[in-house]
Amino acid sequence: MVESGLDALVVASQGDGTSHARVNYLAKYVYQGSVVMVVMPLDGSPILITDPLPVWPSGDWIGEDDTRAVTCVGREVGEVLVELGLSNGRIGLVSRDDVRESDYRAIAEAVPDAHLVDAREVFERVSLIKSGAEFEAYRSTALIAKRAVKALEASLSPGRSERDVVAEAHRLLRLFGCGPSVIAIAKRPFATRGRLRSSGFRAPTDQTIVRQDVVVFEFDVTGPDGYGVEFRRVYSFEPLDEPSTQFLAWREEVFEACMKVMRPGVNIQQVDQVVRSMSVAKGYEDTRLSPQWHVHGLGLGLEPPFVPGPDLTLRAGMVMVLHPILRLGAKEMATVGDLGPSDSVLITDTGCERLVDPVDSMCVVLSP
């Protein structure tokens, strides 16, 4: 804040799944769709302000000393700024887009002489670089996620419904205190959706799994401390056919090639170029790199949610999900489209580290 000339930050959540992550990063809580804001003065303790809907602490509670439940969050934020002597201050909003218009007007009316500016970038510069404690939280989530995978594998067999299988993994995640997590499924023939044809994942259903299925699960797991990992698993009950085996092996090569160039100081466009060059050499022209940064939770509304960006340079301490996306024709998409690796990656001082799979197991063949 000092470098940016700010007297305070107001970190905001509209109360939906796409904007609560930044507030939750500061004040770990379980919420019921509440509108929540945190006022962080340059000097003094933070103040947590919520609407009357329930908000329960789930970790280190930043608002323990001063939490206020009110009917108009914006007006209360303005009154807090007055109490702090910041009526004429420079106030950073994180971010302006996440402050409801009614709340913004209420703040502006309470402190008409204050200078309200968007400070999302200020928050990003800090939150994108993880601490040692945060690294351990990610690794803890990864260990729990691996146990959930074992529970899923023990249940995965012909004759079981998709929901039954996925429920076993969710049960274990809940037993270990994990937050809301998603386990999506894709089965051959993989679905094609819209012009991009990039993913056939969907929610599990009551469809029965059969011996001929090739099944892919995408795990988005939120750990007990709120730090999420994302990864993918491919299963079959018979060895994959040769074309599918070769395609999956090539996708692994692309993933590993990306990891070899991912280190501090590298612009993300350089990683994108690795994907594009290897894809063109393979005969694929339309490729896209889609790493995703995780600050907290499932990656919804985080900073920045998707890259590549125009000038995004990797720095030690960043955590991202790497899943290069390849757009295919409808016929090939149905056969191999969702076969490919995905994993959470930590940028270290010298390179990068996979958080879930040190070496991807490609396709796991299970006994039917």
Domain ranges of the chain: 8-127, 132-365
Mean pLDDT lowest among 62-76, 223-237, 289-303: 289-303
pTM over cut 0.75: yes
pLDDT cut 70: percent of the chain above it: 83
Q: Assess contact for 15 and 31: CB atoms under 8 A.
A: yes
**How far is the C-alpha of 217 from the C-alpha of 187, rounded, in Å?**
9
Q: Give me the architecture of the 132-365 domain, per CATH.
A: Alpha-Beta Complex (3.90)
Cis peptide before 189 (omega within 30 of 0): yes
Statement: residue 287 has pLDDT above 90: no
Let me know if the fold of 8-127 is the same as that of 132-365: no
DSSP helix/strand/coil, 269: helix
pLDDT in tens, 110-143: 999 999 999 988 887 777 788 888 889 899 999 9
pLDDT in tens, 134-183: 889 899 999 999 999 999 999 999 999 999 999 999 999 999 998 888 99
Q: Provide the CATH number for the domain formed by 8-127 in this structure.
A: 3.40.350.10
Dihedral pair phi/psi, residue 4, rounded to 5°: -90, 0
Statement: residue 193 has pLDDT above 80: no
How far is it between the farthest Cα atoms of the chain? 70
**How far is the C-alpha of 168 from the C-alpha of 254, rounded, in Å?**
32
